[in-house]
Amino acid sequence: MKRVLTYGTFDLLHHGHIRILRRAREMGDYLVVAVSTDEFNAGKGKKSYMDYATRAEIVAAIRYVDKVIPERSWEQKVEDIVDNDIDIVVMGDDWADSDRFDYLRDYCELVFLPRTEGVSTTEIKEDLRREGKLLD
């Protein structure tokens, strides 16, 4: 039984999120998703439309997701891997050129999956801000 872990905010859920969760789950038999808390995002200068409890509720309802945990800090990853008996950590490939998660390879496999082109929470927000889209 292979256990997979991934991280993210998952605000205004879209098909890019669904696809990475599906592919992450297909890499194993059990998928844990660490959803960023509002406090963690605030520390990164990010503010989501939906609060943590709502985003966690939505992610937990996705059929590929077996368990949701809170992502409260950058430093918790080793603890998450050990506590949840994780074999593979999956990240979107926006991180692939960075070596900041290399230390995780001492604990599990680290896999970067390509992002879905043409959609992001930021783009959705920008589109909705444009008057035309709001009047549709």
One-letter amino acid identity for 113?
A: L
Interface with ligand C2G, residue 37, by CB under 6 A: no
Interface with ligand C2G, residue 7, by CB under 6 A: yes
Q: How many residues bind ligand C2G (CB under 6 A)?
A: 17
Give yes or no for a contact between 17 and 10, defined as CB atoms under 8 angstroms apart.
yes
Shortest gap between Cβ of 36 and ligand C2G (angstroms)?
Answer: 5
Point out the residues that are catalytic: 44, 46
* Binding window for ligand C2G (CB under 6 A); candidates: 25-33, 58-66, 78-86, 113-121: 113-121
3-state secondary structure of 78: helix
Shortest gap between Cβ of 134 and ligand C2G (angstroms)?
Answer: 22
Site for ligand C2G, residues 38 to 67, rule: CB under 6 A: none
Residue 103's contacts (CB-CB under 8 Å, 6 or more residues apart) are 78
Interface with ligand C2G, residue 94, by CB under 6 A: yes
- Binds ligand C2G by CB under 6 A, chosen from 3, 4, 5, 20: 20
Spell out a b/e string for 7-40, using b for 16 or more CB atoms within 10 Å of the CB, else e. bbbbbbbeebbebbbebbbebbebbbbbbbbbeb
